[in-house]
Homo-oligomer: A and B are copies of this chain.
Amino acid sequence: MALNPQLVLDAAIRHLDEVGLDAFSVRRVADGLGVRIGALYWHYKNRQALVDAIAARILEPLTLMEPSTDAWDVRLCRFARAYRQALLSHTDGARVITAISGPGPMGHAFMAIPVKVLCEAGLPATDAAAAADVLTSYVNGFTIEEQNRKLGQPEQDRDRGFEFGLTLLLDGLRSRTTA
Instruction: Tell me if A's interface is mostly helix, strand, loop or mixed.
Output: helix
Would you give the shortest CB distance from A127 to chain B, in whole angstroms? Answer: 7
Bound complex: CA of A98 vs CA of B140, how far in Å? 11
Q: Which of B137, B168, B172 contacts A145 (CB 8 A)?
A: B137
Bound complex: CA of A138 vs CA of B162, how far in Å? 11
Would you give the shortest CB distance from A125 to chain B, in whole angstroms? Answer: 14
Taking CB atoms, residues of chain B closer than 8 Å to A145 are 98, 133, 136-137, 140
Chain A interface bracket (under 10, 10 to 19, 20 to 34, 35 or more): 20 to 34
| A45 on the B face (CB < 8 A) | no
**Interface set of A (CB-CB < 8 Å, partner B):** 95, 98, 102-103, 127, 130-131, 133-134, 136-142, 144-145, 148-149, 160-161, 164-165, 167-173, 175
Taking CB atoms, residues of chain B closer than 8 Å to A95 are 98
Q: Which of B133, B139, B169 contacts A169 (CB 8 A)?
A: B169
